[in-house]
Amino acid sequence: MSEHALSVEARAWARSPWDHTPGPVPGAEDVRALVLAGYGLNCEAETAAGLRMAGARAEILHVADLLDADAAQLKGARMLVFGGGFSFGDHIASGRVFANRLRFRLGEHLAHFVDDGGLVLGICNGFQTLVKLGLLPALDRRPGEGLPAQQATLVHNDRLGYRNAWVRLAVDPHSPCVFTRGSTGVPLEVPSRHGEGKLVFASATIRARAEAEHLVPVRYVDADGQPTQAWPDNPNGSAGAIAGLCDATGRVFGLMPHPEAYLHPQAHPRWIAQRDQGRLPPVGHGLGVLVNGVRAAVEG
């Protein structure tokens, strides 16, 4: 992709989610966001930093403390973040052990948290966990029903091995996802790093419904902005180039790439060229995802 094309993307994404200013969201000081840590998770610091840049009161909480308190920590929280890493060493399958522990210890509380208007964000391992919890895509789930059955999973990349590289994501402007709303439709760039990121649905019907109901907020795209199955633009081979899912409320969102890893423009591999050409964005693209989530929490 040319530097000119990248600068257009950067400016378009920066304009929309935070209205020209990278500062805190008004009213965000009332948003308590919990970022889970421990048991192999390793992206909590940068995730919490991004939420604080958006103005939220982000707290890093060890999963053990959440479990031991029987979910009392969820009281008063507006957002729950499942970050990236390798929970329980990715034994059995990525996110499987973590999801099982949460389902059987806190499943009812997590369902109540969503039903009460809480926002949930899952990044990489967090996305894997949310899918295995049944919280994504959660078709036909109704409030008060508890956690639904699992409808999808994430398996090993088509090209086996851990892939660490930047990707482009196109945003569906018709998706109910609150974390991506306001996008101009221009792709954003964020890092992606995983070995089990290929999304597989339990049936073709579930996939068709998820796509028809716009529960696929982000897709991997090539240099021309077109969804692609081709490696390396699509790092895992997910059908339909699907990079993330949301539920019907739009308040539960999971994606494989890492928005929290691109908070500052200098994190981009071509930031010096952008700077020298006067095209350096005011903030990293990924911050927009967190800003949108905090804004949605403020608006209730």
Q: What is the pLDDT of residues 165-207, one digit of tens each?
A: 999 999 999 999 999 998 777 788 999 999 999 999 999 999 9
pLDDT for 160 equals 85
Q: Answer for the pair 262, 140: CB distance below 8 angstroms, yes or no.
A: no
Active site residues: 124, 258, 260
Kindly tell me if the per-residue pLDDT of 93 is higher than 90: no
Could you count the other beta carbons within 10 Å of the beta carbon of residue 278? Answer: 7
* CATH fold for domain 3-299: Rossmann fold (3.40.50)
pLDDT digits (tens, 9 = 90+) for 271-300: 999 899 988 888 898 999 999 999 999 998
pLDDT: is 31 or 21 the higher one? 31
pLDDT for 261 equals 97
Q: Give the Cα separation of 142 and 185 in Å (integer).
A: 30
The pLDDT confidence band at residue 22, using thresholds 50, 70 and 90, is: low
The pLDDT confidence band at residue 10, using thresholds 50, 70 and 90, is: very low
pLDDT for 37 equals 97
pLDDT: is 119 or 284 the higher one? 119
pLDDT for 294 equals 96
Q: Is the peptide bond before 281 cis (omega within 30 degrees of 0)?
A: no
- % of the chain surpassing 70 pLDDT: 92
Domain boundaries along the sequence of the chain: 3-299
Q: Answer for the pair 268, 275: CB distance below 8 angstroms, yes or no.
A: no
Kindly tell me if the per-residue pLDDT of 82 is higher than 50: yes
Q: Give the Cα separation of 170 and 177 in Å (integer).
A: 13
pLDDT digits (tens, 9 = 90+) for 217-270: 999 999 999 999 999 999 999 999 999 999 999 999 999 999 999 999 999 999
Kindly tell me if the per-residue pLDDT of 19 is higher than 90: no
Could you count the other beta carbons within 10 Å of the beta carbon of residue 72? Answer: 11
Tokens for 16? 């929309």
Output the average pLDDT for the chain.
91
pLDDT for 279 equals 83
Q: Give the Cα separation of 51 and 148 in Å (integer).
A: 28
Least confident of 11-25, 118-132, 191-205, 262-276: 11-25
Kindly tell me if the per-residue pLDDT of 39 is higher than 50: yes
pLDDT for 159 equals 94
SS (HEC) of 58-120: EEEEEHHHHHHCCCHHHCCCCEEEECCECHHHHCCCCCHHHHHHHHHHHHHHHHHHHHCCCEE
Per-residue pLDDT, averaged over 6-26, amounts to 51
